[in-house]
A and B are shown apart, each in its own frame.
Chain A
Amino acid sequence: MRQLITFIRKEFLHVFRDRKTLLMLFGLPIAQIVLFGFALSNEIKNSHIAVVDYSKDAVTTKLISKISGSPYFNIQRSLAGAEELNAAFKKGNIKMAVIFPAGFGDDLIHTGKATMQVIADASDPNQATTITNYLTNIVNDFNSDLAQDASQPMQIEPEVQMMYNPELRGAPNFVPGVMALVLMLVCTMMTSVAIVREKELGTMEILLVSPFKPIYIIISKLAPNLLISVVNLIIILVLSDIFLDLPVKGSLLLLVTGTVLFIMTSLSIGLLLSISAKTQQAAMMGSLMGMMLPTMLLTGFLFPIENMPVALQVLSNLVPSRWYFIIIKRVMLKGLGFESVWREMLILTGMCVLLFTISLRQFKIRLQ
């Protein structure tokens, strides 16, 4: 135990002596929170939506078939009542719902005006704006069709409502993304570099000749990165609460549990990388190309996964941050409980156990 403490203290010395890296590690989340404020918007196809038709007349049937004919929408189901909507939104099954009130067609014909309700899941604000715009365009198109056919002016007005994030701020989407990115960077890159450095220095040989246990080496290497990650998590959460007005809506305990799972997974990947990498540069490149890029591209916070080619969608399932991203979005932004994230937690746990077991096995006790 005393040996372990000696080693852990040494690892902390390494970290604190390297001011530049330390500054980068803590500056990064702050800079990214600022930078990703200008998030990108993209075309989204095949959004799953639900339709609730209380009117069931000729007009609504025609409009619904027009909507379902568009490449942008995929009517997931027609619900009997608005009560079911909430559940569907929370599960993430639908991105938008269209509701026609009773007597919609009659209103339109007799008063020349009718209002339909459109509710979008705005926890991803870019996506919500884009798809509601698509829908409005379809409705406008439908209006001009009506105007041609009819003698009197007729107008359908969509009344748009944003759920979860009524002000359509970009922050709710990129904060979870930044969390995933920063934690992945700290845990994977720093861990692999720290271990490979010992190999490069030749000190790894000394450690292996000593009675110091290899598992202790691993624990000591992980300790400072675990601490940095937790501090980073706190920084991000506090920053987003104070400056972006994004408090943690759900259980903090659940959020922390999910985060620790993700951190452990990232640390295991770092360990694995360090085993194959021979130089610090190789370890760094490996973590950048192997982890940062997939985290940026395949997590779903920059580009919607729904819109990717099938091959990439399948591939994205292997990226741990994808699941972590879902957990934070649901717990932090929507305030949902364990029952809505247990599947993602289970997947992360599985990845973590698998990766850690492999890396422990591979970590060489004897230099060959």
Chain B
Amino acid sequence: METVIHTDRLTKRFGSFIAANELTFDVAKGEIFGFLGANGAGKTTAMRMLCGLLAPSSGKATIAGFDVYTQTERIKNSIGYMSQKFSLYDDLTVAENIRFYAGIYGMSGPAIRAKTTQLLEELQLQKEAKTLVRELPLGWKQKLSFSVSIVHEPEIVFLDEPTGGVDPVTRRQFWDLIYAASDKGVTVFVTTHYMDEAEYCNRVSIMVDGVIAALDSPVRLKGQFGSGSMEDVFYELARKAKRKGD
């Protein structure tokens, strides 16, 4: 198995507060890696370090083979990112949003046009190409947002609570897109608060108070904790937390 994310005792301190403490894990190519934790457990900090948005305090990490300290520009070209905040431009059309995000990754004109056609087809949004994004239903926006985050065909895509506020049916459809991307070899690194989504992941890590408290496949985690659902596993771990969530 090829490793695309590798961390070794990756730590971030803010003054005396240790937001992320000695995180060590590997993620394989094409894997769907769930990154769980209560609010304030340090998920966002960890994710920002991996995306090159935040410099680590100590420890090592490589993303797609590039070092998070020295090769952040190379990392940026190899990853996609979708945040919990909705990240398309409301006042631009569907096609304009796709063209913009493809454009800032330096794709050429013909490549952008081909990609736009392909994406619209996959999402069955051909008729809405010239519709302003603000007029789309939330579920469609979310799917479009995901497609846009991998428009430049990155090796890894980071999804920060991508399905917040979406109904279960749309969430299921959203995960179909994630699976499709994973099948093509895109590594998916996803944070979520929904435990049913945790079940969809190949492997799950659960962060408590800045450290990784558990890391395995959902099936084995459930076995290890002798519980019937990921919900119970998460609760079992999260209630030991001493830090207050934000």
Contact = CB atoms under 8 A, between A and B. Distances in A.
A7 interface: yes
A209 B52 contact: yes
Given A14-B89, A18-B91, A206 B73 contact: no
Contacts of B79: 209
Interface stretch (A59-67, A197-205, A307-315): A197-205
Contacts of A211: 73, 76-77, 104-106
Interface in A173-217: 201-203, 205-212
Contact of B83 (A2, A9, A18, A206): A206
Contact of B53 (A5, A7, A9, A366): A366
Nearest to A6: B103
Contacts of B89: 10, 14, 201, 203
A209 B108 contact: no
B96 A13 contact: yes
B177 interface: no
A242 interface: no
A209 B106 contact: no
A361 interface: no
A367 interface: yes
B87 A212 contact: no
A151 interface: no
B85 A2 contact: no
B87 A10 contact: no
- Size bracket, chain B contacts: 20 to 34
Contact of A3 (B91, B103, B132): B103
Nearest to B91: A17
A132 B199 CA distance: 87
By CB atoms of chain B within 10 A, which of A6, A14, A18, A207 has the most? A6
Contact of B85 (A3, A6, A201): A201
A226 B82 CA distance: 31
Interface string B145-182: 00001000000001000000000000000000000000
Contacts of A7: 100, 103-104
B81 A206 contact: yes
A148 interface: no
B20 interface: no
Nearest to B102: A6
Contacts of B51: 209
B51 to A, nearest CB: 5
Nearest to B103: A6
A209 B87 CA distance: 12
Contacts of A212: 104-105
Nearest to B158: A209
A15 to B, nearest CB: 10
B204 to A, nearest CB: 23
B191 to A, nearest CB: 14
Nearest to B82: A206
A330 B79 CA distance: 56
Interface string B117-135: 0000000000000001000
B87 A3 contact: no
A10 B82 CA distance: 19
Interface in A1-37: 2-3, 5-7, 9-10, 13-14, 17-18
A367 B92 contact: no
B53 A367 contact: yes
Contacts of B106: 2-3, 211
Contact of A13 (B76, B82, B92): B92
Contacts of B92: 10, 13-14, 17
6 contacts: A2-B103, A3-B103, A7-B104, A13-B92, A208-B53, A211-B77
Given A2-B106, A205-B53, A210-B104, 20 more contacts: A3-B104, A7-B104, A13-B92, A14-B92, A17-B132, A201-B86, A202-B83, A202-B84, A202-B85, A206-B82, A209-B52, A209-B53, A209-B76, A210-B76, A210-B101, A211-B73, A212-B105, A367-B48, A367-B54, A368-B54
